[in-house]
């Protein structure tokens, strides 16, 4: 019995030792499983070139043979990564054409399961080499006609894939710019009804990545094609110069019963000779009259025009200027007109007179050229041209006539004109 007890005691002691040893081994294994892998990547930032396919590497140091890498999601469109052995390799999937360097991140992993650790590696891709944009065109000044849809084409040259065209604010209501390849079309979206041209600018721009070439084209739209009878600068146009740059207009109002001068024989020159004899330029004649009387009180017809608002712009026409008014009014020269009372002239002459009179009446204070009854000879007006010491030339607008009359007569009117710029 004592022997059995001894054997049993030895067995229990051995079993206890075995359990203790087993527990110690198990604890050591658990500690081993919970130890994370070591991981280091050098360099921690990789720089790659701007071009598609550019690569970069970094060395991985770890106590684990299980290594991997992935690109953070926001950067997967342009960046790739793999691990070969202990080397991290990154690759540009596209060229960098942005306006700045672009930056992405790679996540590197080491270990397995609960032992896995990770670290991030920064990747920067340089800019694409910026090509200096160039931009030119075959002309920098363009003029289009006054009509709606008038256009001009400008040929543009650039080393960029495309260019833009922007019309300045002061031209957006009448000019359109469109691009077809390298052709720029400038088109009038409205007619220019004004008597003067209008202008704006169009800016061309080409480039990318903060580098641009620009140029500016000046665009003009011609003034409305003016014709006799048009309203220009407060008067009715009756004469246009051969070059089309200047014209002469007739004022709407007229001076009633305006004598050429207050005396029957007013001398305007030294020795009592007439001096206001210019036949084509009434301003020359008025200057002579002013040398006699600066206030023109002695010359009512000239004074009326001189003081018409705006003062100093209007003047009493010379005889050839006055006959030009008749031609615009009647549609013929005086010599070619029907010499009869207004009611018996040709239909063409009547129509011409009606159109011209309508323009005159559209002006403030406008009075038709012949206000007398159609059965009478009609109204006449003094010119500023002296015919003799006691007479001056006049034109009758009813029954066609160019003649001379005593200077102090008050049966005639004063019609005023001025010179205007048309371009």
| Lowest mean pLDDT segment, chosen from 44-53, 303-312, 332-341 | 44-53
Going through 191-303 in order, the beta strands assigned E by DSSP cover 198-208, 211-221, 231-232, 235-240, 246-250
Does 14 score more than 70 pLDDT? no
Across the chain, mean pLDDT equals 89
pLDDT at 193: 84
pLDDT classification of 365: cutoffs 50, 70, 90: very high
Q: Give the torsion sign (CA, 286, 287, 289, 295).
A: positive
Greater confidence (24 vs 74) lies with 74
pLDDT at 265: 65
pLDDT at 10: 45
pLDDT at 195: 72
- Residue range 121-167, pLDDT digits in tens: 999 988 766 678 999 999 999 999 888 999 999 999 999 989 999 99
pLDDT classification of 396: cutoffs 50, 70, 90: very high
How large is the average pLDDT for residues 239-249? 93
Does 20 score more than 80 pLDDT? no
pLDDT at 16: 52
pLDDT at 129: 63
pLDDT at 97: 80
How large is the average pLDDT for residues 60-77? 93
The answer for 113, left when phi > 0, alpha when psi is -120 to 50, beta otherwise, is left
How large is the average pLDDT for residues 170-186? 96
Does 28 score more than 70 pLDDT? no
CATH code given to domain 39-125: 2.60.40.60
pLDDT at 29: 46
Q: Are strands 67-71 and 45-48 parallel, antiparallel or unpaired?
A: unpaired
- Residue range 216-234, pLDDT digits in tens: 999 999 888 888 999 999 9
Task: Please list the alpha-helical segments (H only) found in 184-314.
Answer: 282-292, 300-306
pLDDT at 163: 95
The answer for 19, left when phi > 0, alpha when psi is -120 to 50, beta otherwise, is alpha
pLDDT classification of 33: cutoffs 50, 70, 90: low
Contact 369, 356 (CB under 8 A): yes
Does 8 score more than 80 pLDDT? no
CATH homologous superfamily for the domain 135-221: Immunoglobulins (2.60.40.10)
Distance separating alpha carbons of residues 363 and 379, to the nearest angstrom = 19
Highest mean pLDDT among 130-134, 239-243, 260-264, 302-306: 302-306
pLDDT at 25: 43
pLDDT at 17: 47
pLDDT at 250: 98
According to DSSP, the residues that pair with 60 across neighbouring strands are: 41
pTM higher than the cut 0.95 = no
How large is the average pLDDT for residues 46-63? 92
pLDDT classification of 336: cutoffs 50, 70, 90: very high
Distance separating alpha carbons of residues 282 and 266, to the nearest angstrom = 18
**CB within 8 Å of 258: residues ≥ 6 apart:** 300, 301, 304, 382, 410, 412, 413, 414
Does 235 score more than 50 pLDDT? yes
How large is the average pLDDT for residues 279-306? 95
Distance separating alpha carbons of residues 236 and 289, to the nearest angstrom = 26
Greater confidence (211 vs 237) lies with 237
pLDDT at 27: 46
Does 116 score more than 50 pLDDT? yes
Does 208 score more than 80 pLDDT? no
How large is the average pLDDT for residues 401-417? 96
Does 32 score more than 60 pLDDT? no
pLDDT at 211: 80
pLDDT at 72: 94
Start and end residues for every CATH 2.60.40.60 domain found in the chain: 39-125
């Amino acid at each position: 019995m004592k022997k059995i007890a001894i054997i049993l005691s030895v067995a229990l002691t051995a079993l206890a030792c075995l359990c203790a040893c087993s527990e110690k081994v198990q604890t050591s294994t658990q500690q081993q499983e919970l130890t994370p892998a070591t991981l280091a990547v050098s360099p921690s930032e990789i720089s790659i070139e701007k071009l598609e396919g550019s690569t970069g590497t970094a060395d991985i140091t770890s106590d684990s043979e299980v290594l991997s890498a992935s690109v953070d999601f926001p950067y997967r469109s342009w960046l790739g990564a793999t691990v070969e052995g202990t080397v991290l390799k990154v690759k540009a999937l596209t060229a960098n054409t942005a306006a700045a360097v672009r930056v992405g991140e790679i996540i590197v992993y080491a270990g397995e399961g609960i032992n896995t650790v990770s670290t991030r590696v920064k990747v920067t891709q340089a800019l694409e080499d910026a090509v200096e944009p160039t931009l030119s065109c075959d002309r920098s000044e363009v003029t289009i006609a006054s009509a709606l849809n008038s256009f001009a084409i400008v040929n543009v040259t650039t080393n960029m894939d495309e260019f833009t065209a922007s019309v300045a604010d002061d031209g957006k209501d009448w000019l359109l710019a469109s691009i077809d390849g390298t052709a720029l079309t400038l088109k009038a979206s409205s007619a220019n009804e004004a008597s003067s041209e209008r202008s704006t600018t169009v800016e061309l721009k080409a480039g990318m990545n903060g580098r641009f070439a620009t140029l500016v084209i000046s665009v003009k739209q011609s003034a409305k094609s003016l014709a006799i009878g048009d309203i220009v600068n407060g008067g009715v146009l009756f004469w246009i110069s051969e070059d089309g740059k200047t014209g002469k207009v007739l004022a709407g109002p007229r001076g009633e019963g305006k004598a050429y001068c207050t005396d029957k024989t007013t001398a305007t020159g030294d020795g009592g000779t007439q001096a206001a004899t210019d036949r084509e330029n009434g301003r020359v004649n008025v200057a002579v009259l002013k040398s006699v009387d600066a206030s023109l009180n002695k010359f009512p017809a000239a004074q009326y025009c001189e003081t018409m608002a705006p003062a100093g712009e209007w003047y009493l026409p010379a005889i050839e200027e006055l006959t030009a008014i008749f031609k615009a009014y009647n549609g013929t020269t005086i010599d070619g007109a029907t010499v009869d009372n207004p009611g018996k002239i040709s239909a063409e002459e009547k129509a011409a007179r009606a159109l011209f009179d309508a323009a005159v009446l559209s002006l403030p204070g406008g009075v038709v050229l012949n206000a007398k009854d159609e059965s009478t000879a009609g109204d006449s007006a003094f010119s500023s041209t002296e015919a003799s010491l006691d007479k001056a030339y006049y034109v009758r607008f009813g029954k066609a006539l160019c003649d001379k009359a005593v200077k102090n007569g008050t049966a005639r009117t004063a019609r005023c004109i001025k010179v205007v710029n048309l371009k």
